[in-house]
Chains A and B, each alone.
Chain A
Amino acid sequence: MTTLEVDGLSKSYGTVRALDDVSFDVPGGDLFGFVGSNGAGKTTTMRIILGVLRADAGSVRWNGAPVDLEVRTRIGYMPEERGLYPRMKVGEQLVYLARLHGMSKADATVAMEHWTEVLGVAERRGDEVEKLSLGNQQRVQLASALVHGPDILVLDEPFSGLDPVAVAVMSDVLRERAAAGVPVIFSSHQLELVERLCDRVGIVKSGRLVANGTIDELRATERLQWRLAMTGADAPPAPDGVTIVPDGAGAWLVEAASADVAQAALASAVYSGTVTAFEPVRPSLTDLFRDVVSETEEAA
């Protein structure tokens, strides 16, 4: 099983601690979403993985061995600051980048043709990059991360600036790469997208990884909540171990220690009025993110 391990990364810029003991691992086939506020340390982490930046402490390993230049040529990278030669033609540029990653000219050409096709920029191969729209440049940028058939994908904000169609294309590509056994790490501010796409999520806050787990793990809260909507009663009676708080007109939030206790609350609600809805409430990634970020702020 292939795994990319990030172990105890720390990095300071002068007195600013940009990363503080960040550890996580991404097995092959996993989509790992990396979320955090601006300046939280996502880009720094990714740059360190790519060896573009040196960590003060900690290491990055691929299948147990430290990531060296040879491994890095097998990583597909999309930097946050998009970068391509503006005056170089799309096709030539992709072939060049693929060859820098060690591909032969023939293979590189085939790969370039494949990815420009998949990403819908095939007709623009002969154009200089600077002549493309921003969205198309973005597609070329993704193509440049994929063109050498990488074993690992590290993408910084791959969805920013994309239209919905391109987002769908990009999501499909990421899923498809993950399904092919590639560990995919990407950062994004579009939390619904991360929630929908990712197997696991890491939340960074001020250089620390404050949450790391599957979406389900993160969403599992200590106190279970249900949302109850009913007519015909002012308020449902609350059995022992259940707290009920109003949540808008004709709706309440039911918090219970277990599903059984909540069931009792439902039974008494049915008895006292007409229940129109009773559904478990699970925090969205957005809620989690907000909670996590504000919690740590309070703690600090």
Chain B
Amino acid sequence: MVWLIAKREFKVRTLSKASLISSLILLVLAVGGALIAKPFLVADGEPAVVQVDSSAAELVPYLDAVAGGEDAAFEFVVADVATPEDPEDLGEVSGVITGSATEPELFLPERHDALALAVAEASQAAAFDASIVSLGGDPADVAATLAESTPTVTVVGDEPTEFEESEFLAAVVVVIMLFFVLIQSASVIMMGVVEEKSSRVVEILLSTVRPGTLLGGKVLGVGLYAIVQAAAMVLPILFGAWYLEILARYDIDVQTLLVNFSVWFVLGFSIFTVLFGGLAALVSRQEDLGAVTTPMMFLMMIPLYLAIYLVPLSPEGTATRVLTQVPFFAPFMVPMRTAFGSIETWEIVLAVVLCLVSIPVLVWVAGRVYSRAVLNTGGRMKLGEALRG
């Protein structure tokens, strides 16, 4: 029976035009955006060719060391080249180097600071080695000696928390997405409850189904819908991030983020949706829903903002630690603190356990409010009244 209700709920929500269109738009934006943006954001695989006159051939190893190697932006090719007079002489190449290894001349079709810097560095290195040789030394020995000479660093004071900018940004994105998915599913379930109430169909339903079953079915159905919604939101973004090589560039641990997102989605969903589904039964018309949604928005936004602002300021402060254990805050606090690496494993476990424990309590409260309030037509029912029954 629960399944039947869940299935209807899922079908109605997922196949609704608004939901299909918004998912489609998101998909087109993320995937299309990534496809279009790729050529601008990611350098293509072909390195720019720089011709080096054979007079300066000795410079090439130094150039390769500075700006060459695998994945390099430049490829230095030795060739006999004349001094270019005008842009046509350069042809397809990105630059021409003439002169000698220690006094190179660089010709460019347009200003290119990175290349100029690389050439300067390479020629200095060549000159440096040449001086060592002229003094009777071995450049390789000198390089080895230099490499050995590194200081040992010991931090005597508190080690500052590592602020991983990319991890932080990724965590913010996850928490905000979590917030959106949760708030969306919570409002969907509230609208569903009020729709049944205002259309009075609930009276027919309750003549054959228990209120708890009805609410349970709705929560389950909306949950499945929310998963589809979340997937429709996360997958295109992940695809875009992967396709644009953002993930590789920033070294973001996608798996941890996804696990975090999934776990706290399920827990946060159970906590918020069940409660709001029950509370929604207090009102009889969509117009009155605001009275119930406003506190709900606060209940979700305060934890979200605290997670985003408080955690970076004091990742291990007492307030942060305490709030982490409060069920309504945990879904946002834990992923943020995990991103900062400032959370102990026992804290995560405790937060999950506290959430799991609070769920049956919330289900009980919501079920009680729901079953008492759902047949109360007319004005708004007071929460206390519904609880007392």
Instruction: Give the residues in chain B near A99, CB-CB below 8 Å.
Output: 4
Return chain A residues, CB-CB under 8 Å to B237: none
**Set of chain A residues within 8 Å of B1, measured between Cβ atoms:** 100
- Segment of B100-108, B205-213, B306-314 in the binding face: B205-213
Also in contact, A83 and B207, with CB within 8 A (given A96-B8, A99-B4, A100-B4): no
The answer to the question of B204 belonging to the interface, with a C-beta cut-off of 8 Å to chain A, is: yes
Known contacts being A84-B199, A99-B4, is A79 close to B208, with CB within 8 Å? no
Q: Which residues of B contact A83 (CB under 8 A)?
A: 199-204
Which residues does chain B contribute within 8 Å of A88, judged by CB atoms?
12
Once the chains bind, are B207 and A85 in contact (CB under 8 Å)? Answer: no
Interface residue SS majority, chain B:
helix
**Contact A144 B208, CB 8 Å, known A52-B375, A83-B199, A96-B8:** no
- Give chain B residues whose Cβ lies under 8 Å from the Cβ of A75: 207-208
Cβ of B195 within 8 Å of any chain A Cβ, yes or no, is yes
- Verify if B83 is at the interface (C-beta below 8 Å from A): no
Indicate with 1 or 0, residue by residue over B187-225, a CB within 8 angstroms of chain A CB atoms: 000000001100111111111111000000000000000
Is B377 engaged at the interface, CB distance under 8 Å to the other chain? yes
Contact B210 A100 (CB under 8 A): no
A51 at the interface (CB under 8 A from B): yes
Q: Is A79 a contact partner of B199 (Cβ separation < 8 A)?
A: no
CB atoms of B205 and A100 under 8 A apart: yes
The interface on chain A, measured as residues whose beta carbon lies within 8 A of the other chain's beta carbons, has a size of 25
Given A81-B200, A83-B200, A85-B201, CB of A52 within 8 Å of CB of B206:
yes
A168 within 8 A of B: no
**Min CB–CB distance A106 → chain B (angstroms):** 15
A residues near B201, Cβ cutoff 8 Å: 83-85
Interface centre among A51, A83, A96, A99 (most CB of B within 10 A): A83
Instruction: Encode contact with B along A82-120: 1 for CB under 8 Å, 0 otherwise.
Output: 111111100000001101110000000000000000000
Judging by beta carbons under 8 Å apart, are A81 and B207 in contact? no
Contacts of B196 in A (CB 8 A): 85
Out of B8, B195, B203, name the residue touching A52 (CB < 8 Å): B203
- Is B207 touching A52 in the complex (CB atoms < 8 A)? yes
Q: Does A53 interact with chain B (Cβ within 8 Å)?
A: yes
Q: List 20 A-B contacts (CB under 8 A).
A: A50-B206, A52-B207, A53-B375, A69-B210, A73-B208, A75-B207, A75-B208, A77-B207, A81-B200, A81-B203, A82-B200, A83-B204, A84-B199, A84-B201, A84-B204, A85-B196, A87-B12, A96-B8, A100-B5, A100-B205
In addition to A47-B203, A53-B375, A72-B208, 19 A-B residue pairs with Cβ atoms within 8 Å of each other are A50-B203, A50-B206, A50-B207, A51-B207, A52-B207, A69-B210, A73-B208, A75-B208, A77-B207, A79-B200, A82-B200, A83-B201, A84-B204, A85-B196, A97-B204, A100-B5, A100-B205, A100-B209, A144-B204
